[in-house]
């Protein structure tokens, strides 16, 4: 399929070299909820070689209004496995590997071995902290994206080149999507911004979201990027930690 008209317009946009790099890439998607399911679909459509689909949860009926890889018949099934089945059915050029696991220090070797890039689509701060530390240690670039209510945030973290997540992330508030809700429009925007950043990192080696935080409030029609600075005292990437 890679040599047919399937990718024709993408190749025109990215160039043959950029598209070729995508076709060789292995990307881990951590979390397959609203943002993660859309991001996995966009990556499969873009033609990445391998997708590690990581999630420990089962599909619930409440997921169906904002996800795109599951249907009513998938309720009760592991999200990772249902997502892999869907993607293999429609995108046989992509190897989707389901990993029914929690991202942690004990599982990281299996989950991230050999990946070129990580997409954080989780819905909790502790998982993002773990992703940040492991990716920093292994020099793996990753793209953070989150959606809550009508709001969206995203940023590209490249070890040794940008501030890490711990440099600028806000303290936990205790709020979650299950408490405050989330619109399907917000997760669609979050995944689009996230995947474009991932595609840029893989195909060009750079992303416009490096050292920046993308923020959008769809209800208010606000779309902005804010500069991010490195925290020299950061426990993950600060001067004392590096030395």
**Mind telling me the catalytic residues?**
177
Question: CA 177 to CA 191: how far, in whole Å?
Answer: 16
Cβ-in-10-Å burial (0-12, 13-18, 19+) of 50 comes to middle
- As beta bridge partners, residue 127 has none
Strands, sheet with 151-157, edge to edge from the N-terminal-most edge strand: 95-99, 50-54, 26-30, 117-120, 142-148, 151-157, 212-217, 222-227
Q: Give the CA distances from residue 23 to residues 14, 103, 212, in Å, rounded to whole numbers and listed in that order.
A: 12, 26, 27
Cα radius of gyration rounded to whole Å, the chain: 17
Number of residues that make up the chain: 243
- Cβ–Cβ under 8 Å, residues 162 and 135: no
- Cβ–Cβ under 8 Å, residues 120 and 128: yes
């Amino acid at each position: 399929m890679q040599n047919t008209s399937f990718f024709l317009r993408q190749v025109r946009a990215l160039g043959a070299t950029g598209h070729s790099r995508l076709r060789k890439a292995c990307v881990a998607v951590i979390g397959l909820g609203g943002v993660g399911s859309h991001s996995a679909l966009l990556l499969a459509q873009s033609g990445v070689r391998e997708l590690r689909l990581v999630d420990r949860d089962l599909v619930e009926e409440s997921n169906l209004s904002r996800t795109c890889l599951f249907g009513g018949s998938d309720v009760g099934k592991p999200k990772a496995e249902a997502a892999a089945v869907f993607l293999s059915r429609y995108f046989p050029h992509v190897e989707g590997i389901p990993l029914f696991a929690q991202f942690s220090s004990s599982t990281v070797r299996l989950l991230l071995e050999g990946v070129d890039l990580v997409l954080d689509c989780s819905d909790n701060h502790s998982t993002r902290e773990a992703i940040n530390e492991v990716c920093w240690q292994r020099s793996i670039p990753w793209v953070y994206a989150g959606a809550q209510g009508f709001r969206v945030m995203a940023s590209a973290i490249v070890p040794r080149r940008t501030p890490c997540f711990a440099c600028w992330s806000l303290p936990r508030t205790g709020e979650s999507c299950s408490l405050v809700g989330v619109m399907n429009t917000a997760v669609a925007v979050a995944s689009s911004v996230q995947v474009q950043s991932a595609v840029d990192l893989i195909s060009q080696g750079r992303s416009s979201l490096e050292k920046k935080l993308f923020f959008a409030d769809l209800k208010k029609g606000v779309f902005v990027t804010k500069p991010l600075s490195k925290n020299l005292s950061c426990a993950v990437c600060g001067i004392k930690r590096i030395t």
